[in-house]
Amino acid sequence: MKFKKGFICEFEETLAEKKRQDKLRKKYKIDQDVVVVEKNNIIKTIASILGKVIKIAASAILAILAGIGLMALFYEIPRNEILRLFFEFWESF
């Protein structure tokens, strides 16, 4: 006897929900006969978005610095200017 895909998917979703509920009950130390609904908090959402923005900004800055470094390797004029700036910076300390 063949099962339809809908029955299998529904059963798998039920098992996944049960596992998620068990994790939430352990996390919040709640009895077994209670259904736990975890809602998003605005602070968590803002922190998550801020973290993603910082990661993207850091990646962009790293890519820009890598591009500048590659230009300094391949072309003589930017290399000389970057070395001059570096030595001026070094002598200021």
Tell me what pLDDT residue 67 has. 93
Identify which of 11-25, 32-46, 51-65 has the greatest average pLDDT.
51-65
Tell me what pLDDT residue 31 has. 79
Whether the pLDDT of residue 6 is over 80: the answer is no
> What is the signed CA dihedral for 74, 78, 81, 87, rounded to 10 degrees?
-40
Q: Provide DSSP, 39-62.
A: PPPHHHHHHHHHHHHHHHHHHHHH
- Distance separating alpha carbons of residues 65 and 46, to the nearest angstrom: 28
Residues making up the chain, counted from first to last:
93
Among 33, 12, 7, 8, which residue's Cα sits nearest to residue 22?
Answer: 33
Tell me what pLDDT residue 2 has. 54
